[in-house]
Structure 1
């Protein structure tokens, strides 16, 4: 006897110590009884109140663009006694849920996929400062790359 099941799952899971990240698209596969569902609505909701509906393609795939919907933090609340702000170093994190409903065999099937997503690894990092540091390192190392002169004085 075949079990009737509606399923939504990511095509690729994030690698270990990685996450679904804001600003990236992630693909999910929607199936009923093991077969991909075409043109099926997928509801995407985040803890930060983003709510959108996407539809699957002919292969049952839906591409979800993860929003950068994180609220700005109050800087005064995140400072320690010396006035240093350490909250910028942490990535922000929020929950999300994908919901699919489908009617089949005179029954309503509902399934969910829920997890969390974060800001990227370079959140609040200064690219110009990083490039400047790399260039400074190359300039300092340049004298070490010169070939010594062979022989004595001419």
Structure 2
């Protein structure tokens, strides 16, 4: 789960779901913010030694963004741009670290999940968005706590 494009897909999809709960204008500003911040950070050189920090930051940001969906009413729209910028920065950092700038272009359209999410929310079926958010929390938590924790099976000496 820590390799490839999957973590970037996860944070982009979670951001799209979270942006489905704000107004249309704020959702579009959030989508713009995530795209611009992801592309800007992906052009930076991230040190290879920072891979655990980048992965932890990405998964914690995914969890935090998904938790926003559970607020009693739509979360304050003034948070849309900072939350989206944060998600984009972590996605861009992982893309830069793993050399997946092309994969970032594939992941960013998932931010447009705010469109069907808004439609679902306005039809009174907002529980579907919350269920999807709980999946994002579960996947991110497992990826964070299982694969970043050292286990005997992950140590190269154990395999010899």
TM-score in same-fold range (> 0.5):
no
The structure in which a higher percent of residues are strand is 1
Q: Which has the higher helix share?
A: 2
TM-score normalised by length of structure 2:
0.23
Larger Rg: 1
Structure 1 length normalisation: TM-score? Answer: 0.24
